Amino acid sequence: MLKTFATLRKFSGQRKPPVERCELCGLELPPEHDHLVEPQSRRLLCSCIACGLLFSGSTELKYRRVPRDVRRLNDFQLTDSDWDSLMIPINMAFFFFDSSAKKMVAFYPSPAGPVESLLHLDKWHEIIRGHLALNTMQPDVEALLVNRMGSRVGFLTDDYFLAPIDQCYKLVGLLRMHWRGLSGGTEVWKRVREFFDGIRRTAKSDSEDAHV
């Protein structure tokens, strides 16, 4: 299970402290700011721009800067058969390359937090074959975010994004905070729809996901 529960509290809707500060230099931060990830522990840290730049572009440093851009994969689709073969029990998950484990990993949000699902790597490579954008995801900091929840909870289409890993943790935090009962309740799905509405508004259309 991901070791990011302390970070998830920042995304769960709980009251935030009056001032957030860079966890490296102590500089006061605006509401929208950079994050760094520590690959070994999968821990997220809040960062100012200057400290974030220190960890840009290198995979050999202790921390890695999380990108901000979201890319929508307009031409990428998973069939029901594809999804079933991935053995993920709900229709929402995120996938990223874990450099510490040296493999692709899959997690899905749950009321208890992020849950790892065993990922059949041969099937994964078969699914992403020909999708350049998925083959160039940045390790640890960028993920394929999939939403196939459907009309039952108010979604009209499936969503596939290349998203910063902190956005994936934010989604997990929403479920942890707002889930009620067995089905989650109306409030949690309202929050999740708002989350994906926001992702869609900021996402860039990715032209590199075409089949090659």
CB-CB contact of 84 with 93 (8 Å): no
Question: Residue 4: pLDDT band by 50, 70, 90 thresholds?
Answer: low
Domain regions of the chain by residue span: 5-65, 71-205
- Residues for the chain: how many in total? 212
CB-CB contact of 39 with 151 (8 Å): no
- Nearest Cα to Cα of residue 123 among 96, 87, 91, 159: 87
80 residue type, one letter: D
What does the pLDDT read at residue 207? 58
Phi, psi of 151 (to 5 degrees): -70, -20
pTM across the whole model = 0.85
Question: Residue 7: pLDDT band by 50, 70, 90 thresholds?
Answer: low
CA–CA separation, 118 vs 122, rounded Å?
A: 12
Instruction: Express each pLDDT in 14-57 by its tens digit.
Output: 565 668 999 999 999 999 999 999 999 999 999 999 999 999 87
Question: Residue 211: pLDDT band by 50, 70, 90 thresholds?
Answer: very low
- In this predicted structure, the answer to whether residue 125 has a pLDDT above a threshold of 80 is yes
- Nearest Cα to Cα of residue 35 among 163, 160, 145: 163
Instruction: Express each pLDDT in 132-167 by its tens digit.
Output: 888 889 999 999 999 999 998 999 899 999 999 999
The mean pLDDT value of the chain amounts to 87
What does the pLDDT read at residue 162? 96
Residues 6+ positions from 15 with CB-CB distance below 8 Å: none
What does the pLDDT read at residue 97? 95
20 residue type, one letter: E
- For the chain, the straight-line distance linking the first and the last C-alpha, in angstroms and rounded, comes to 35
Instruction: Express each pLDDT in 178-194 by its tens digit.
Output: 999 888 899 999 999 99
Question: Residue 177: pLDDT band by 50, 70, 90 thresholds?
Answer: very high
CA–CA separation, 135 vs 144, rounded Å?
A: 11
Instruction: Express each pLDDT in 57-73 by its tens digit.
Output: 767 789 999 999 999 99
Nearest 5°: CA angle at 158, between 154 and 161? 120
